[in-house]
Amino acid sequence: MPLRCQGTICDREPRMIQIFHATKYYERRPAITDICLQIEKGEFVVLRGPSGAGKTTLLKLIYCAAPLDEGQVLIQGRTVTHLKASAVPYLRRTMGVVFQDCKLLPKKSVYDNVALPLLIEGASAPEIRRMVMEALKAVGVEHRKESRPAMLSAGEQQRVCIARAIVNQPIILLADEPTGNMDAELAHEIVELFKTINSRGTTVLVATHNKQVIEQVGRRVVTLDQGKILADEGQGL
C-alpha cells in the first residue's frame, strides 16, 4: 500500500528537497507515480528498491536530467520543475552526482576529471589544485591522479567519480548505486566516506539495493517499488 503525501507546496519552511505528486512516464509506461518525498537539510537518506523501482528516475528528477510529467520538485524551496534550460547548469553545480556508470571523461586524467566542476565554476588555479587534491585524498586515489580512467579498476573509477561529485563541496550529494562495482570492504569504505561528507552538513541521497550499505548507513530508508513509495522509515535519524 503506497504511502500518502505529507505536507503541501504551501509548506514554505524551505526543506532541502521537496517532491510533490511526481509522476514520470517513459514511453507511456510510468517510471514513478505520484511520489511525495521531503528531505531536510543535512539528512542522509537511502532509496531502496529493486531494479526498475524508480530510484534512478527519482534522482534524475532532482538534478533535472529528466523532465517531470506531473507534480513538482523543489530544491531549497525553489521549484526546478520548469526550470529554463539555461538555469539548469547552475542548479547542477549545487549538487554532486555519483553515477552508476561513473561517467568519467575517458580522454582526461583523473586529476582533470575531478577538476572539471571547479573549472566550470571558474575557480582559480591554486584553488582548483588544493580542492582536487583534497577530494582525491578523501577517496584515497591521489596516487592515480595522472592515470586515465581506463587504467583504473572499477572501484577506483567509482572513487574518482565520488571525488568529482564532492570536489566543489555541494549542498546535496546524489549517488546512484555507488557501490555497485565494489567488493564488501570497499563498499564499507565508501559508505563511511558518505557519512563523513554528511557529517559536514551535506544532504546525502543514496539509491541502492545493497542490504549491507543500508544497514551500515543506519539512517532514513525510503523503499520504492514499481514507481511508488512503499515505506519511509527512520525519519529524523
Partner 1 sequence: MRRLAHFIREALVNIRLNWTTTVIAVATTAFTLACFGVFLLLYLNLRAVATSLQSDFKVVVYVQESVPAQGVAQLQSLLKADPGVQVVSYVSKEQALADFRAQFPADSHLLQGLGENPLPASFVVSLSPSLRSPDAVRRWAERVKSVPGVEQVQYSRDWIDNLTAIVGYLELVAVGIGTVLSAASATIIASTIRLTLYARREEIEIMRLIGATSSFIRIPYLIEGTMLGMMGSAVALAILKGGFELFKVRLGMPGRFLGIDSGVQFFSGQVVGLIAAAGLILGFIGSLVSALDLEKAK
Of 148, 179, 200, whose CA–CA distance to 42 is shortest? 200
* CA 44 – CA 23 distance, rounded (Å): 23
Query: How far, CA to CA in Å, does 120 sit from each of 10, 83, 93?
Result: 35, 20, 9
For partner 1, give the closer residue by CB, 1 or 85. Answer: 85
Determine the Cα–Cα distance for residues 144 and 96; give it in Å rounded to an integer.
Answer: 21
Q: What's the min distance (Å) between Cβ of 219 and partner 1? A: 26
78 belongs to the binding site for partner 1 (CB under 8 A): no
Identity of the residue, 5 or 65, whose beta carbon is nearer to partner 1 in the bound complex: 65
Answer yes or no whether residue 92 interacts with partner 1 by CB under 8 A.
Answer: yes
Which residues are CB-neighbours of 213 under 8 A, at least 6 positions away? 46, 179, 187, 191, 206
- One-letter amino acid at 234 equals G
Among 21, 93, 148, 188, binds partner 1 (CB under 8 A): 93
Position 128 contacts partner 1 (CB under 8 A): yes
Minimum CB–partner distance for residue 94 and partner 1 (Å): 8
Burial class (CB in 10 A: 0-12, 13-18, 19+), 215: exposed
- Which of 117, 155 has the CB closer to partner 1? 117
Query: Looking at 42-50, 68-76, 92-100, 146-154, which segment touches partner 1 (CB under 8 A)?
Result: 92-100
Binding residues vs partner 1 (CB under 8 A):
63, 65, 86, 89-90, 92-93, 97, 99, 103-107, 116-117, 119-125, 128, 164
